[in-house]
Amino acid sequence: MSGDHDKDLSGLRLGTASPATMTTDEAAAELASLAEAIAFHDQRYHGDDAPVVTDADYDALVARNGELEAVFPALVRSDSPSLRVGTPAADGFGKIRHARPMLSLNNGFTDEDIIDFGTRIRRFLSLGEDDELAFTAEPKIDGLSLSLRYEKGRLTQAATRGDGTEGEDVTANVRGVSAIPATLAGSPPDILEVRGELYMDRRDFIALNAAQKQADGKIFANPRNAAAGSLRQKDASVTASRNLQFFAYALGEVSTPLASTHADSLAALKSFGFSVNELSTRCTDSDALLAHYAKIGSQRADLGYDIDGVVYKVDRHDYQERLGQVARAPRWALAHKFPAEQAETVLNAIDIQVGRTGALTPVARLAPVTVGGVVVSNATLHNEDEIRRKDIRVGDRVVIQRAGDVIPQVVRVLTEMRQPDSAEFVFPDSCPECHAPAIRPEGEAVRRCTNALDCPAQRLEWLKHFVSRDAFDIEGLGARQIDQFVTLGWVSRPADIFRLAARRDDMVGLDGYGDISINNLLAAIEARRSIGFERVIFALGIRQIGQATARLLALHYETPDALMAATAPDADQDTSAAELVEIDQIGDSMVADFMGFFTREGNRDAVSDLFAQISIIPPERPADDSPVSGKTIVFTGTLTGMSRAEAKARAEGLGAKVSGSVSAKTNFLVAGADAGSKARKAAALGVTVLSEEEWLTMIGGN
């Protein structure tokens, strides 16, 4: 079971199955675990400056998330890591809203990823074979990003990235960093926002830790954490005393453009007094990018500062503009990461964890080993096929790897060192917690306990989900308290949480509870008696029903009574299900899970009990601010102004849904030159057909 103590296992479900072969159920379940794991590591990395996994591991999680979302776009969760950057600004510093969002970067790992990146961009921009497409390739500095605002050449504000929209105000501390100019040389534009990486040289990091040790101060795990910790000081003079460095590599708001290319912008920044990285090079094809990657990789150890890859950026700013961004990352840039670090250790045991939806997940317990500066003692084994495929056995010596900030994985077994008496691992066919049969449906990778909420492990995880951040989010009531209250028998279903006030006297005797904390907890629970419908539906923890789907369901049903009526055993369930499938982005298997949840008597009971305890706020409908928002658009024929991908991206950016085929649900067909059967079908269905020009006028993009 996963409790708070082993929360670093929260993302252990990093799958290896090819998304194309996965069921929607599996993908949804994996995306849910990924969201949880990535949020956990984001907090460790950005919030606490204390990562528990390597960057390479983290990147693997993010990459896996992207891979699944690409194949299952309907499953993109509203809490998806792809829609979010970093963590919210920490308390203690004021907040600054970035004039332009601070983006993150998509990652590539293989040569093929890099070649694809170039091909995708060429296609997006509809470039001909002879059109030049230049990139810059520069080291990816392992520090923390800052946005520095200069007005009339003077530093007025400095902010961390935060969640990408809002960061921490670190102006006072940054003023003490001598590597960051307080006033600019030359003639910079009136408003100039410079983005770059604050970092610490390895030599200074080692010296700082030695001094910290002497003074019994905090020891930093790596230069990145040392830089972040040095910046986030209450006392600005401490920051000033640390030798922090800064490389400028991008722009935010600028009143007058510096140049028409990234390379020239960097040169301008240099002339204003910033350090820009000397290894930044202009390349005109992927061979040159890969050669530069290899060159930087070979110099990595001698650079004096940590880098974790090479960043490729489209050089022309007008191209960058057109390429825009997807979710949290620009389409025009890619981080080519260095490979994961590996280590050998012994696999002592394989434990099976049971999740909220009954999934049995194998976890490798390892003899602790240091990989990339972090001690690893657990690794994911994904599922039973993975164990069989790699023939992983208890007692084996294994190679593990941490790539990015993700959960460690077992790469392979050193079979030549295997003990002669080792036995193949037998995956249990019953739940290790409640002993009910654990079934693996045909074609699925995951085996599940069949006991639903009668399984104590599933119930416990279900309750933890109920109080989690995106669900009821009750302050002072987290996984640890749920563990405690379940053990005491005070809580066995969600409604019990709202009856905890009756336990007030018993609580007084509990470890860690004083009058004030009890009052706070009970007040926080009271405050959640009134809550939005979509949160409630999400909190029910139904398989495949993530935040985005919960919202769609809340909009559909509007009231809890309507939901209960439509899912009642005596209701016409086929009609109710058919209505749900009609909702865009809700598929058959989601509906089956949703209806299935309510057909179990125990679940219905628990939900009715909960509904009686709380007051549900109906969902707000989104305002339509663009004429195409919420509309379904189909593009056909050849567009002259832009590629299909660019047209699609713009429409989606305005809240439209772009579909590949015309149906009665289509609102507009945008017909380019030589539009064929789709245009005829649209005409037959009475769908409005727009020319490319008419469409551009409509979206105000002419």
Binding residues vs ligand IVH (CB under 6 A)? 103-105, 138, 140-141, 145, 161, 197, 249-250, 311, 330, 333, 335
Tell me the closest approach of the beta carbon of residue 102 to ligand IVH, in angstroms: 7
Q: Measured at the alpha carbon of residue 528, what is the angle toward residues 526 and 529, in degrees to the nearest 5?
A: 70
DSSP letters spanning 107-169: EE-SHHHHHHHHHHHHHHTT--TTS---EEEEEEESSEEEEEEEETTEEEEEEE-TTSSEEEB
Buried b (16+ CB within 10 A) or exposed e, 213-237: eeeeeeebebbbbbbbbbbbbeebe
Cα separation, 402 vs 366, in Å, equals: 14
Say which of 7, 140, 218, 648 is annotated catalytic. Answer: 140
Buried b (16+ CB within 10 A) or exposed e, 333-372: bbbbbbebbbbebebeebbbbbbbbbbbbbbbebeebebb
Tell me the closest approach of the beta carbon of residue 630 to ligand IVH, in angstroms: 29
Helix (H, G, I), strand (E, B) or coil at 71: helix
Cα separation, 403 vs 638, in Å, equals: 42
Tell me the closest approach of the beta carbon of residue 279 to ligand IVH, in angstroms: 10
Tell me the closest approach of the beta carbon of residue 90 to ligand IVH, in angstroms: 16
* Whether 140 is catalytic: yes
Which C-beta is closer to ligand IVH: that of 102 or that of 539? 102
For 144, 181, 189, the CA distances from 257, given in Å and listed in that order, are 25, 20, 8
For 100, 308, 325, 590, the CA distances from 164, given in Å and listed in that order, are 9, 21, 13, 32
Amino acid at 577: A
For 248, 498, 523, the CA distances from 519, given in Å and listed in that order, are 49, 14, 6
Which C-beta is closer to ligand IVH: that of 141 or that of 363? 141
Contact (CB, 8 A) for 291 and 137: no
Which C-beta is closer to ligand IVH: that of 372 or that of 672? 372
The DSSP code for 46 is I
Which C-beta is closer to ligand IVH: that of 65 or that of 104? 104
Q: Which residues pair with 616 in a beta bridge?
A: 531
Q: Which residues pair with 380 in a beta bridge?
A: 363, 409
Q: Residue of minimal CB distance from ligand IVH?
A: 145
CB atoms within 10 A of CB 593: 18
Which C-beta is closer to ligand IVH: that of 106 or that of 378? 106
Tell me the closest approach of the beta carbon of residue 677 to ligand IVH, in angstroms: 41
Query: Could you tell me what percentage of the chain is helix, strand and coil, using 3-state DSSP and rounding each to the nearest 5?
Result: 40, 20, 40
Tell me the closest approach of the beta carbon of residue 197 to ligand IVH, in angstroms: 5
Cα separation, 518 vs 521, in Å, equals: 5
Which C-beta is closer to ligand IVH: that of 232 or that of 464? 232
Tell me the closest approach of the beta carbon of residue 103 to ligand IVH, in angstroms: 4
Which C-beta is closer to ligand IVH: that of 29 or that of 340? 340
Q: What is the separation, in whole angstroms, between the first and last Cα of the chain?
A: 57
Tell me the closest approach of the beta carbon of residue 276 to ligand IVH, in angstroms: 9
Which C-beta is closer to ligand IVH: that of 96 or that of 633? 96
Contact (CB, 8 A) for 387 and 427: yes
For helices 223-231 and 202-214, angle between their N-to-C axes, nearest 10 degrees: 70
Residues serving a catalytic function are 140
